Structure 1
Amino acid sequence: MVKMVAVPANSQISQHLPNAHFFDAFQFTLAPCKRSAIEIYLDVIAKTPSWISFLMALRNRAAPMFGLKNLGALNSVNPCVKSEQYRVGDRVGIFTIHSISENEVILTDSDKHLDAKISVCKTAQGVGNAVTVSTVVHVHNLLGHVYLFFVVPFHKQIVLSLLQRSELQFNKLA
């Protein structure tokens, strides 16, 4: 079951919490696995429902009118690149890798309005693993605040939907 939790203190993304304008974290339990954090992220975005892709396309269409960039599709990844080939600075879907380790990947998107960081952090929990997806946003100006006001309700539904689908799929494979 996906649940809202605190941003894990042992996660690298927790260093970005000071002065954040928005942050949240959602967690689900994963049967024991050898998947790295980047593999989990790639598996999660591969299951992007069409309604999320539709919302991203709408956002990208309207973005230039507000001085925002077109991010592309959440699940737009090169299928020829293996998970272990990704490095800091590589683009993965709509985000760029900020840091990467076996147990955590932090992805970012920045523009003049705001900086958003997403973490996928895998930790041992009981006989399985806990996977926590955290988001931290720093806003730079009024447009960033307005954008965040409209995006946050969609963000929460999108993250919950992606993680619920993935949790079911991951644990069926275990």
Structure 2
Amino acid sequence: MSQVVEVPVPPNCAVFPRLHNADFYDAWRVSTRIPSATALEAFLAVVKATPPWVDFLMALRNRIVSKLGLKNLGVLSKDGLTQRRDYQPGERLGIFTVVSNRPEELLLTDQDKHLDVVISVYQSSANSSEFTISTVVHTHNWLGKLYMLPVAPLHKLIVRNMLSKVAV
């Protein structure tokens, strides 16, 4: 199995310009078992491999934040159930909204009153099975900053775990 490696956000990916004033960001590179996959196919494979404990944590998160007036996002594993190739900007893809969907890069977002999240699934060269998943978060207020205290370390654990399930 290849390693899942934390790397700098690729300068050519769409989230790179959003790093300015970001409250959190990370990027992870993985070589997948999916030959000639598009960015969307890689994303769907990753979320399809969501372990049950991640869905449990998402359900717990949804119960807690609903009391604060934040969105119920559902569970992540539901994203992998729809294997469409033609997601258009503005359409929902599980817990995210599609910003752009090109073969080499899928850009997703979720916006709420406490923060904005943007995710890039980026393929640096055509027909490669290597992808970099980058996440950029901008908080809007104290609630967003408080929310990110437990979420940031959990995010790193979850992403590394999920990517390892599709790694070569």
Q: TM-score, normalising length from structure 1? A: 0.89
Answer with 83-92 or 146-155: which moved more.
Answer: 83-92
- Rounded to whole Å, the distance in 1 between the matches of 2:152 and 2:142 is 15
Q: In the alignment, what sits opposite 2:114?
A: 113
Answer with 114-123 or 26-35: which moved more.
Answer: 26-35
Q: In the alignment, what sits opposite 2:162?
A: 162
Total equivalences in the alignment: 166
Preserved contact between residue 32 and residue 128 of structure 1 (Cα < 8 Å): no
- Rounded to whole Å, the distance in 2 between the matches of 1:31 and 1:76 is 21
Q: Give the 4+ runs in structure 1 shifted more than 4 A.
A: none
The question of 1:57 aligning with 2:68 is answered: no
CA deviation map 1:111-165 (0-9, x unaligned): 111000111111239x954210000000100000000111111101100000001
Percent identity for Structure 1 against Structure 2 = 43
SS in 2 for 1:35: coil
Q: Runs of 5+ in structure 2 lacking a partner?
A: none
Which one of 3, 10, 17 corresponds to residue 15 of structure 1?
Answer: 17
The aligned runs of 1:1-174 (5 Å cut-off) are 1-30=3-32, 33-77=35-79, 79=81, 81-124=82-125, 128-167=128-167, 171=168
- Superposed displacement of residue 32, structure 1: 7.6
CA deviation map 1:37-61 (0-9, x unaligned): 0111011101100000000010011
- Rounded to whole Å, the distance in 1 between the matches of 2:25 and 2:124 is 20
- 1:78 and 1:3, CA in 2 relative to 1: closer, same or farther beyond 3 A? closer
- Rounded to whole Å, the distance in 2 between the matches of 1:129 and 1:155 is 23
CA deviation map 1:59-84 (0-9, x unaligned): 011111122110001122484x5432
RMSD over equivalenced CA pairs, Å = 1.9
Preserved contact between residue 76 and residue 92 of structure 1 (Cα < 8 Å): no
